Protein backbone atom coordinates (compact mmCIF):
# COMPACT_ATOMS: atom_id res chain seq x y z
CA UNK A 1 0.00 0.00 0.00
CA UNK A 2 1.33 3.48 -0.73
CA UNK A 3 1.52 6.08 2.01
CA UNK A 4 -0.64 9.18 1.87
CA UNK A 5 -0.39 12.63 3.44
CA UNK A 6 -0.86 13.23 7.18
CA UNK A 7 -4.47 12.77 8.19
CA UNK A 8 -4.37 13.81 11.84
CA UNK A 9 -2.26 15.61 14.39
CA UNK A 10 -3.59 13.80 17.49
CA UNK A 11 -0.74 11.90 19.27
CA UNK A 12 -2.47 8.49 19.14
CA UNK A 13 -3.96 8.81 15.68
CA UNK A 14 -2.28 7.68 12.51
CA UNK A 15 -0.28 10.43 10.83
CA UNK A 16 0.00 8.63 7.55
CA UNK A 17 -2.42 6.08 6.11
CA UNK A 18 -0.50 2.98 5.09
CA UNK A 19 0.49 -0.59 5.83
CA UNK A 20 1.95 0.19 9.29
CA UNK A 21 0.51 2.14 12.23
CA UNK A 22 2.40 5.47 12.35
CA UNK A 23 1.15 7.85 15.02
CA UNK A 24 2.11 11.41 15.74
CA UNK A 25 3.87 10.12 18.89
CA UNK A 26 6.00 7.79 16.68
CA UNK A 27 6.84 10.66 14.35
CA UNK A 28 7.84 12.89 17.30
CA UNK A 29 10.11 10.17 18.72
CA UNK A 30 11.81 9.62 15.37
CA UNK A 31 12.23 13.37 14.75
CA UNK A 32 13.73 13.82 18.23
CA UNK A 33 16.24 11.01 17.63
CA UNK A 34 17.29 12.33 14.22
CA UNK A 35 17.56 15.85 15.61
CA UNK A 36 19.66 14.68 18.55
CA UNK A 37 21.90 12.43 16.45
CA UNK A 38 22.43 14.57 13.35
CA UNK A 39 20.90 18.02 13.90
CA UNK A 40 18.39 17.33 11.15
CA UNK A 41 15.03 19.05 11.63
CA UNK A 42 12.03 17.07 10.42
CA UNK A 43 8.92 19.28 10.26
CA UNK A 44 5.45 17.66 10.21
CA UNK A 45 5.37 18.04 6.43
CA UNK A 46 8.04 15.31 6.27
CA UNK A 47 5.81 12.69 7.94
CA UNK A 48 4.99 10.94 4.66
CA UNK A 49 8.64 10.90 3.64
CA UNK A 50 9.66 9.45 7.02
CA UNK A 51 6.96 6.81 6.71
CA UNK A 52 7.89 5.73 3.21
CA UNK A 53 11.65 5.64 3.81
CA UNK A 54 11.34 3.67 7.05
CA UNK A 55 8.53 1.33 5.95
CA UNK A 56 11.22 -0.62 4.06
CA UNK A 57 13.18 -1.05 7.30
CA UNK A 58 10.06 -2.30 9.16
CA UNK A 59 9.42 -4.83 6.38
CA UNK A 60 13.05 -5.97 6.40
CA UNK A 61 12.89 -6.48 10.18
CA UNK A 62 9.45 -8.15 10.14
CA UNK A 63 7.98 -5.46 12.44
CA UNK A 64 4.33 -4.52 12.29
CA UNK A 65 4.25 -1.02 13.78
CA UNK A 66 6.37 2.12 14.08
CA UNK A 67 5.88 1.88 17.84
CA UNK A 68 7.94 -1.33 17.83
CA UNK A 69 10.47 0.25 15.49
CA UNK A 70 10.85 3.25 17.84
CA UNK A 71 11.36 0.86 20.77
CA UNK A 72 14.10 -0.94 18.82
CA UNK A 73 16.02 2.17 17.74
CA UNK A 74 15.79 3.62 21.26
CA UNK A 75 17.31 0.50 22.83
CA UNK A 76 21.00 -0.32 23.27
CA UNK A 77 20.67 -3.40 21.06
CA UNK A 78 19.15 -1.22 18.32
CA UNK A 79 22.30 0.85 17.79
CA UNK A 80 22.99 -0.59 14.32
CA UNK A 81 19.40 -0.09 13.24
CA UNK A 82 19.53 3.49 14.57
CA UNK A 83 22.42 4.10 12.17
CA UNK A 84 20.35 2.61 9.34
CA UNK A 85 17.41 4.81 10.28
CA UNK A 86 19.61 7.88 10.10
CA UNK A 87 21.02 6.79 6.74
CA UNK A 88 17.49 6.21 5.43
CA UNK A 89 16.40 9.71 6.51
CA UNK A 90 19.35 11.72 5.20
CA UNK A 91 19.14 13.11 1.70
CA UNK A 92 22.25 12.21 -0.25
CA UNK A 93 21.51 13.90 -3.58
CA UNK A 94 24.72 15.13 -5.17
CA UNK A 95 26.45 15.25 -8.53
CA UNK A 96 29.79 16.02 -10.11
CA UNK A 97 30.43 19.76 -10.55
CA UNK A 98 27.14 20.65 -8.86
CA UNK A 99 26.85 24.47 -8.73
CA UNK A 100 29.61 24.85 -11.32
CA UNK A 101 30.36 28.48 -10.41
CA UNK A 102 32.08 27.22 -7.25
CA UNK A 103 34.51 25.12 -9.29
CA UNK A 104 35.18 28.06 -11.64
CA UNK A 105 35.90 30.27 -8.61
CA UNK A 106 38.14 27.55 -7.16
CA UNK A 107 40.02 27.16 -10.44
CA UNK A 108 40.40 30.83 -11.31
CA UNK A 109 40.77 32.57 -7.95
CA UNK A 110 41.59 30.16 -5.16
CA UNK A 111 43.85 27.46 -6.55
CA UNK A 112 46.46 29.38 -8.60
CA UNK A 113 48.26 30.98 -5.60
CA UNK A 114 47.80 27.85 -3.47
CA UNK A 115 49.29 25.59 -6.13
CA UNK A 116 52.20 27.99 -6.65
CA UNK A 117 52.88 27.74 -2.94
CA UNK A 118 52.59 23.93 -3.14
CA UNK A 119 55.23 23.91 -5.92
CA UNK A 120 57.52 25.67 -3.46
CA UNK A 121 56.83 23.07 -0.76
CA UNK A 122 53.73 24.55 0.88
CA UNK A 123 50.67 22.54 1.81
CA UNK A 124 47.12 22.81 0.54
CA UNK A 125 44.15 21.52 2.53
CA UNK A 126 40.55 21.42 1.32
CA UNK A 127 37.58 19.98 3.22
CA UNK A 128 34.41 18.67 1.64
CA UNK A 129 32.13 18.57 4.70
CA UNK A 130 29.00 16.43 4.09
CA UNK A 131 30.47 15.02 0.87
CA UNK A 132 27.75 12.39 0.30
CA UNK A 133 29.04 9.72 -2.15
CA UNK A 134 32.14 11.70 -3.13
CA UNK A 135 31.24 13.53 -6.33
CA UNK A 136 32.03 16.88 -4.68
CA UNK A 137 35.58 16.05 -3.47
CA UNK A 138 36.37 14.27 -6.75
CA UNK A 139 35.22 17.39 -8.64
CA UNK A 140 37.66 19.39 -6.48
CA UNK A 141 40.40 16.83 -7.22
CA UNK A 142 39.78 17.05 -10.99
CA UNK A 143 39.93 20.83 -10.80
CA UNK A 144 43.29 20.61 -9.00
CA UNK A 145 44.71 18.07 -11.46
CA UNK A 146 43.58 20.18 -14.43
CA UNK A 147 45.94 22.90 -13.16
CA UNK A 148 48.64 20.72 -11.67
CA UNK A 149 48.98 17.14 -12.96
CA UNK A 150 51.76 16.45 -10.46
CA UNK A 151 49.50 17.38 -7.50
CA UNK A 152 49.59 13.85 -5.95
CA UNK A 153 53.37 14.30 -5.51
CA UNK A 154 52.90 17.54 -3.56
CA UNK A 155 51.47 18.18 -0.09
CA UNK A 156 47.91 18.61 -1.32
CA UNK A 157 45.03 16.86 0.43
CA UNK A 158 41.26 16.88 0.26
CA UNK A 159 39.41 15.65 3.33
CA UNK A 160 35.95 14.30 2.49
CA UNK A 161 33.56 13.59 5.38
CA UNK A 162 29.94 12.56 5.83
CA UNK A 163 27.82 11.23 8.67
CA UNK A 164 26.50 8.35 6.56
CA UNK A 165 28.89 5.37 6.50
CA UNK A 166 27.28 4.06 3.29
CA UNK A 167 28.11 7.31 1.52
CA UNK A 168 31.67 7.31 2.87
CA UNK A 169 32.09 3.73 1.60
CA UNK A 170 30.76 4.70 -1.85
CA UNK A 171 33.14 7.63 -2.05
CA UNK A 172 36.05 5.50 -0.92
CA UNK A 173 35.26 2.93 -3.62
CA UNK A 174 35.68 5.73 -6.20
CA UNK A 175 33.40 3.87 -8.59
CA UNK A 176 30.18 5.24 -10.06
CA UNK A 177 27.46 4.19 -12.48
CA UNK A 178 28.45 5.65 -15.86
CA UNK A 179 25.37 7.91 -16.09
CA UNK A 180 26.45 9.74 -12.91
CA UNK A 181 29.45 11.12 -14.80
CA UNK A 182 27.18 13.34 -16.92
CA UNK A 183 28.38 16.58 -15.33
CA UNK A 184 32.07 15.79 -15.85
CA UNK A 185 33.65 17.62 -18.81
CA UNK A 186 34.65 15.18 -21.59
CA UNK A 187 38.36 15.97 -21.40
CA UNK A 188 38.36 15.33 -17.63
CA UNK A 189 36.48 12.07 -18.12
CA UNK A 190 38.99 10.88 -20.71
CA UNK A 191 41.98 11.75 -18.54
CA UNK A 192 40.90 10.62 -15.09
CA UNK A 193 38.25 7.94 -15.35
CA UNK A 194 38.14 4.46 -16.81
CA UNK A 195 35.34 2.00 -17.48
CA UNK A 196 35.20 -1.07 -15.30
CA UNK A 197 32.91 -4.12 -15.24
CA UNK A 198 29.16 -3.68 -14.92
CA UNK A 199 28.94 -0.37 -16.79
CA UNK A 200 30.69 1.45 -13.97
CA UNK A 201 33.38 4.09 -14.11
CA UNK A 202 36.33 4.32 -11.76
CA UNK A 203 38.15 7.44 -10.64
CA UNK A 204 41.85 7.39 -11.61
CA UNK A 205 44.48 6.70 -8.96
CA UNK A 206 45.72 10.34 -9.20
CA UNK A 207 42.27 11.53 -8.08
CA UNK A 208 41.96 8.94 -5.35
CA UNK A 209 45.42 9.81 -4.04
CA UNK A 210 44.23 13.34 -3.31
CA UNK A 211 41.04 12.46 -1.40
CA UNK A 212 40.69 10.86 2.05
CA UNK A 213 37.20 9.79 3.14
CA UNK A 214 36.14 9.65 6.79
CA UNK A 215 32.92 9.53 8.78
CA UNK A 216 32.20 12.76 10.63
CA UNK A 217 29.09 14.18 12.24
CA UNK A 218 29.01 17.95 11.74
CA UNK A 219 27.17 18.45 15.02
CA UNK A 220 29.60 16.23 16.95
CA UNK A 221 33.25 16.67 17.88
CA UNK A 222 35.73 17.38 15.09
CA UNK A 223 39.16 15.78 15.49
CA UNK A 224 40.89 17.94 12.86
CA UNK A 225 43.67 20.19 14.10
CA UNK A 226 44.98 21.91 10.98
CA UNK A 227 43.34 24.68 9.03
CA UNK A 228 41.80 24.59 5.59
CA UNK A 229 42.39 26.79 2.57
CA UNK A 230 38.87 26.06 1.36
CA UNK A 231 35.84 24.40 2.90
CA UNK A 232 32.90 23.11 0.88
CA UNK A 233 29.81 22.71 3.07
CA UNK A 234 26.97 22.65 0.63
CA UNK A 235 23.37 21.52 0.81
CA UNK A 236 23.47 20.10 4.30
CA UNK A 237 22.85 23.15 6.53
CA UNK A 238 19.40 23.49 4.92
CA UNK A 239 18.36 20.46 6.96
CA UNK A 240 19.36 22.18 10.21
CA UNK A 241 17.48 24.84 12.19
CA UNK A 242 18.84 28.40 12.23
CA UNK A 243 20.73 28.12 15.53
CA UNK A 244 22.42 24.86 14.45
CA UNK A 245 23.40 26.50 11.16
CA UNK A 246 24.78 29.55 12.95
CA UNK A 247 26.85 27.32 15.25
CA UNK A 248 28.16 25.38 12.26
CA UNK A 249 29.36 28.49 10.39
CA UNK A 250 31.02 29.74 13.59
CA UNK A 251 32.80 26.40 14.05
CA UNK A 252 34.19 26.54 10.51
CA UNK A 253 35.77 29.96 10.99
CA UNK A 254 38.72 28.90 13.22
CA UNK A 255 39.43 25.98 10.88
CA UNK A 256 39.33 28.14 7.76
CA UNK A 257 42.56 30.04 7.07
CA UNK A 258 42.25 33.81 7.02
CA UNK A 259 41.95 34.57 3.30
CA UNK A 260 40.54 31.06 2.77
CA UNK A 261 37.20 30.27 1.19
CA UNK A 262 33.89 28.80 2.33
CA UNK A 263 31.47 27.50 -0.31
CA UNK A 264 27.87 26.91 0.81
CA UNK A 265 24.74 25.59 -0.92
CA UNK A 266 22.59 27.64 -3.28
CA UNK A 267 19.75 28.10 -0.78
CA UNK A 268 21.94 28.60 2.29
CA UNK A 269 23.29 31.77 3.88
CA UNK A 270 25.84 32.58 6.56
CA UNK A 271 24.09 33.71 9.72
CA UNK A 272 24.88 34.35 13.38
CA UNK A 273 28.27 35.45 14.72
CA UNK A 274 30.08 34.15 11.61
CA UNK A 275 28.71 36.98 9.44
CA UNK A 276 31.55 39.13 10.78
CA UNK A 277 34.16 36.54 9.85
CA UNK A 278 33.12 35.88 6.26
CA UNK A 279 32.96 38.41 3.46
CA UNK A 280 30.98 37.59 0.28
CA UNK A 281 33.30 36.72 -2.60
CA UNK A 282 30.84 35.52 -5.24
CA UNK A 283 27.57 33.61 -5.31
CA UNK A 284 27.29 31.59 -2.06
CA UNK A 285 31.06 31.98 -1.78
CA UNK A 286 32.75 33.62 1.21
CA UNK A 287 36.26 34.68 2.10
CA UNK A 288 37.39 34.28 5.69
CA UNK A 289 38.52 37.63 7.05
CA UNK A 290 40.65 38.36 10.13
CA UNK A 291 38.76 39.48 13.22
CA UNK A 292 40.70 42.77 13.18
CA UNK A 293 39.34 43.54 9.70
CA UNK A 294 35.75 43.81 10.98
CA 55/CA 36 separation, integer angstroms = 21
Asked if 130 is part of the footprint of ligand SAM (rule: CB under 6 A), the reply reads yes
Query: Is-contact 90 49, C-beta < 8 A?
Result: no
Please give the angle made by the CA atoms of 223, 228 and 233, to the nearest 5 degrees.
Answer: 80
Which residue lies nearer to ligand SAM by CB, 136 or 206?
A: 136
Pick from 24, 26, 162, 206: which binds ligand SAM (CB under 6 A)?
Answer: 162
Given 37, 162, 164, 229, which residue is catalytic? 162
CA 276/CA 271 separation, integer angstroms = 9
Asked if 284 is part of the footprint of ligand SAM (rule: CB under 6 A), the reply reads no
Asked if 219 is part of the footprint of ligand SAM (rule: CB under 6 A), the reply reads yes
State the residue number with the nearest CB to ligand SAM: 94
CA 74/CA 67 separation, integer angstroms = 11
Asked if 6 is part of the footprint of ligand SAM (rule: CB under 6 A), the reply reads no
Pick from 24, 26, 164, 229: which binds ligand SAM (CB under 6 A)?
Answer: 164
Query: Is-contact 215 163, C-beta < 8 A?
Result: yes
Question: Least Å distance between CB 18 and ligand SAM?
Answer: 25
Asked if 217 is part of the footprint of ligand SAM (rule: CB under 6 A), the reply reads yes
Question: Least Å distance between CB 101 and ligand SAM?
Answer: 13
- Is 162 marked active-site? yes
Q: Which residues have a Cβ under 8 Å from the Cβ of 268 and sit 6 or more positions away?
A: 234, 235, 237, 238, 245, 284
CA 95/CA 203 separation, integer angstroms = 14
x/- letters, 87..106, toward ligand SAM (CB under 6 A): ---xxxxx---x--------
Query: Is-contact 156 124, C-beta < 8 A?
Result: yes
Cite the active site residues.
53, 162
For ligand SAM, the binding residues (CB under 6 A) are 38-40, 90-94, 98, 130-132, 136, 162-164, 167, 217-219, 234-236, 265
Amino acid sequence: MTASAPTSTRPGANMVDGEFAFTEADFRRISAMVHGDAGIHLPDAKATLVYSRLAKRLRALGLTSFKDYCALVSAVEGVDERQKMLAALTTNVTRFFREPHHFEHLKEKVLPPLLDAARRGGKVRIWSAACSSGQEPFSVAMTILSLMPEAPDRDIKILATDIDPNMVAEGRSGTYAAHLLDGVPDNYRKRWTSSVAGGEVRMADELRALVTFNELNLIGDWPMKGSFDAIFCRNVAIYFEDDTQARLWSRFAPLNKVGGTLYIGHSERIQGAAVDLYKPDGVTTYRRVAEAAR
